[in-house]
């Protein structure tokens, strides 16, 4: 039998589909390369076995006959992260008013501490947003959670306060260099990238550990659901 993956409901973004970054991390883990680019073609279904098909170094993820995601290997991700801000400067973000996905594993204000990442990005100047993440023992050492952390702050970077409403992740190219230790105070940065066109928005993100070491970086394509 071929390989399959299943996204547990805990790791949802919208109520009925997986968080994009987490889903991309699960897929990216199957790519044999230092980095990977994952394109989401459909909202990733929850609690359903998703079939993985390989085509050389690339792969496809399917639900029945429907294409959910595609992935290809990369040697690196071509973004240059800005220097990290202090953990104390990243703390204190407020929940976005009328958050479109309050149960999101990464940024949902409706989730309980410890059960989810609860990243709350806030502006820190020069077009950047930052969020504090203190990794729990259960969250430590998991590359797919670095992918998850690299997700939502990008939406806040291209749409501070989520004033345009909901956006969904279309593509995430990520490179995980290390994972957080239990209790480690991490900082996640997001910033807009040039090349936005219409409802397609581009963002860079990075996760830093307590000693300023780079844990991961990413380039994301976001799709705004409204024209704004």
The C-alpha atoms of residue 102 and residue 13 are separated, in whole angstroms, by 8
Confidence of residue 2 (pLDDT cuts 50, 70, 90): low
Residue range 18-33: average pLDDT?
A: 97
pLDDT tens digits, residue range 30-78? 999 999 999 999 999 999 999 999 999 999 999 999 999 999 999 999 9
Residue that has been written with the tokens 């919208």 in this structure: 14
The yes-or-no verdict on residue 1 having pLDDT over 60 is no
The C-alpha atoms of residue 27 and residue 89 are separated, in whole angstroms, by 33
- Greater confidence (100 vs 216) lies with 216
The yes-or-no verdict on residue 196 having pLDDT over 50 is yes
pLDDT tens digits, residue range 72-131? 999 999 999 999 999 999 999 998 888 889 999 999 999 998 999 999 999 999 999 999
Question: Which two three-digit tokens encode residue 220?
Answer: 């994301």
- List of domains in the chain: 4-74 (3.10.129.10), 87-224 (3.10.129.10)
Helix (H) or strand (E) holding 208: strand 200-208
Residue in 16, 20, 9, 15 with CA at minimum distance from that of residue 148: 20
Q: Tell me what pLDDT residue 75 has.
A: 97
The C-alpha atoms of residue 208 and residue 143 are separated, in whole angstroms, by 13
The C-alpha atoms of residue 79 and residue 189 are separated, in whole angstroms, by 12
Q: Tell me what pLDDT residue 160 has.
A: 74
Confidence of residue 227 (pLDDT cuts 50, 70, 90): low
The yes-or-no verdict on residue 197 having pLDDT over 60 is yes
Percent of the chain at pLDDT > 90 equals 85
Residue in 195, 194, 206, 173 with CA at minimum distance from that of residue 83: 206
Burial of 72 (0-12, 13-18, 19+ CB in 10 A): middle
Contact 164, 129 (CB under 8 A): no
Residue range 183-200: average pLDDT?
A: 93
Contact 55, 31 (CB under 8 A): no
């Amino acid at each position: 039998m071929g390989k399959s993956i299943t996204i547990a409901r805990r790791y949802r973004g919208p109520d009925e589909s997986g968080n994009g970054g987490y889903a991309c991390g699960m897929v990216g883990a199957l790519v044999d390369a230092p980095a990977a680019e994952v394109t989401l073609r459909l909202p990733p279904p929850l609690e359903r076995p998703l079939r993985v098909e390989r085509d050389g170094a690339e792969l496809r993820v399917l639900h029945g006959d429907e294409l959910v995601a595609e992935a290809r290997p990369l040697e690196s991700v071509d973004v240059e992260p800005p220097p990290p801000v202090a953990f104390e400067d990243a703390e204190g973000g407020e929940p976005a008013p009328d958050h479109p996905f309050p149960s999101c594993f990464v940024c949902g204000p409706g989730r309980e501490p410890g059960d989810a990442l609860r990243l709350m990005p806030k502006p820190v100047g020069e077009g950047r947003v930052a969020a504090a993440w203190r990794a729990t023992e259960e969250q430590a050492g998991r590359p797919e959670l670095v992918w998850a952390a690299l997700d939502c702050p990008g939406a806040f970077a291209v749409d501070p306060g989520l004033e345009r409403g909901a956006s969904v992740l279309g593509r995430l190219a990520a490179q995980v260099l290390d994972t957080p230790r239990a209790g480690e105070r991490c900082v996640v940065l997001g910033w807009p990238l040039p090349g936005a066109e219409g409802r397609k928005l581009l963002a860079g993100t990075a996760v830093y550990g307590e000693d300023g070491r780079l844990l991961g970086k990413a380039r994301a394509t976001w799709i705004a659901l409204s024209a704004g």
